[in-house]
Each structure stands twice: as structure tokens, then as C-alpha cells.
Amino acid sequence: MIKVLYFAWLRERLNRAGDDVSPPAEVKTLADLVTWLRANDEALDLAMENPKQFKLSKNARIVPWETPITDADTVAILPPMTGG
């Protein structure tokens, strides 16, 4: 089971802090996971209209989208931030 965490405005928009998911075996990278999550969650799909603007974290480290994942990982989806 992979723990997926949502941060900042993404968490507010989805009205949840995260999900525990069991993606199919063909989901091997973070990019695959995001594609699978979006295909199975209309709210997430709409919120991530421009997915490459988001940063991804695996086990508390920002990593490239092509990073492999395993069932024991914690993944965070970090939306673009604005400062003031």
C-alpha cells in the first residue's frame, strides 16, 4: 500500500490530507502513479490540470517524476506555491 499525501491548496481543494492506495502492478514510477490517481479520481484530475507544475516527494525527498516506487513508499504531491 502506498500512502499519498496532498499539501497546501491541493489538500484543501480535495478536502482530504491523503489516501492509502494499492495501484496495479504496471504502476512503476511516480509519473505512472499520478496518471493512475488522476484516472481514478475526478477531483484530483481537475485539480492537477497541469500536472508538471507539481513537485513530487518520495519518502520525504523531492525526486524526479520518473523515480521508481514500491508498496512501502510515502508519496507527497506538492502544488506550485506563490509567495508574497
The class (CATH top level) of 2-78 is: alpha beta
Q: What is the DSSP string of 65-76?
A: TT-B--TT-EEE
Decide: residue 18, CB within 10 A, 0-12 exposed, 13-18 middle, 19+ buried: middle
Phi, psi of 8 (to 5 degrees): 55, -135
Tell me the domain boundaries of the chain: 2-78
Q: What confidence category does residue 81 fall into, taking pLDDT thresholds of 50, 70 and 90?
A: confident
Q: Is 35 exposed, middle or buried (0-12, 13-18, 19+ CB in 10 A)?
A: middle
Q: What band does 39 get if pLDDT is binned at 50, 70 and 90? A: very high
Query: pLDDT tens-digit profile of 44-58?
Result: 999 999 999 999 999
CA–CA separation, 19 vs 4, rounded Å? 5
The pLDDT mean for the chain works out to 95
